[in-house]
Structure 1
Amino acid sequence: MAERIIRIATGLIRDSDGRALLVRKRGTQAFMQPGGKIDAGETALQAVLRELEEELALHLHPKDLVTLGQFSAPAANEPGFGVQADLFAVTRSVSPKIQAEIEEMVWVDPSAPGDIILAPLTRDYVLPLCAALSDEGPMAETDCGDVLTRLQNPS
């Protein structure tokens, strides 16, 4: 039986030290980047802007985000499902505040997140991408292409 897919949009938020913001939703164990399901009739960009406002009280504009790509992984909280995630980097400093279904948020070193439970997408794609981008310098669309190619096609 084919895996059922949930389409989501997520945000990679980094601080000035290159740490990534991860959240844990109420009633779950895995930490992941903020975001959520894309509603019917909604673009991925509209969804991530809505989700970041709902979950973290972030009022962002499309120009505050850079598209990093689309990634697939097993869903962290829905057994038998996979997620297809559109990942966007937030390019300005923000002050997130926990709201909605968020139980906890942490800032982690993407190269050494500690002993927290990570969602597969976060563990396998988002944190390695974040670490690679931190090594490459400031966030910009041109930084992402080579890094994404290396992550998606490891030698």
Structure 2
Amino acid sequence: MSVIDKVALIRWDGDAILAARTRGREAYYLPGGKPEPGESRLDALVREAAEELAVAVDPATAVRVGTVDAPAHGRAGAIVRMHCYTAESSGTPRPAGEIADVRWIGPADRHLLSPAALAAVEVLRGPSTPG
């Protein structure tokens, strides 16, 4: 079984979490991605937020809030290990790069999330906690 190591930016607005959908995909993911060779997780978080959301993350404010393991969406036999961070950022999140859509997903729409994104929500917020 392969493990895909990723970082994710966690942004809450009340009971909704910020999620992004890549072009050609149906599921929504938490913004972030894989560190490049030699790149720290924090550097990857800053880079991925800029590439996917057109926001500037302040690395001095980044706090690791947890790590989740979940089946990789659309990749049988693979696990996503997602290192989740909160951080202050400047700019309004909008689709950039490979991202087709950015939206806030609340409890009623959690079925739209990828397994790893859903696992992160459940670990960080609770499976049925509305806010």
- Establish whether TM, by shorter chain, passes 0.5: yes
Stretches of structure 1 lacking an aligned partner (at least 5 in a row):
137-155
Is the alpha carbon distance of 1:62 and 1:101 closer, same or farther for their aligned partners in structure 2, counting shifts above 3 Å? same
* Displacement of 1:113: 3.7
CA distance in 2, matches of 1:94, 1:19: 19
Whether 1:51 aligns to 2:34 is no
Match of 1:69 among 55, 63, 66: 66
CA RMSD of aligned residues (A): 2.4
What is the correspondence of 1:131-142 to structure 2 with a 5 Å cutoff? none
CA distance in 1, matches of 2:130, 2:59: 25
Give the residue type in structure 1 aligned to 2:119: D
What is the correspondence of 1:1-155 to structure 2 with a 5 Å cutoff? 3-15=1-13, 17-91=14-88, 94-109=91-106, 112-114=107-109, 116-130=111-125
CA distance in 2, matches of 1:93, 1:130: 24
CA distance in 2, matches of 1:106, 1:127: 18
CA distance in 2, matches of 1:89, 1:37: 17
TM-score normalised by length of structure 2 = 0.85
Aligned residue pair count: 130
CA distance in 2, matches of 1:113, 1:22: 14
TM-score normalised by length of structure 1 = 0.73
CA distance in 1, matches of 2:104, 2:83: 21
* Displacement of 1:21: 0.5
The alignment-based identity, stated in percent, is: 29
Tell me the alpha carbon deviations over residues 59-112 of structure 1, each in whole angstroms, 9 at most, x when there is no partner: 122123211122111111433211111110134575112100101111122xx1
CA distance in 2, matches of 1:113, 1:50: 30
| 1:114 partner SS | helix
CA distance in 1, matches of 2:2, 2:98: 23
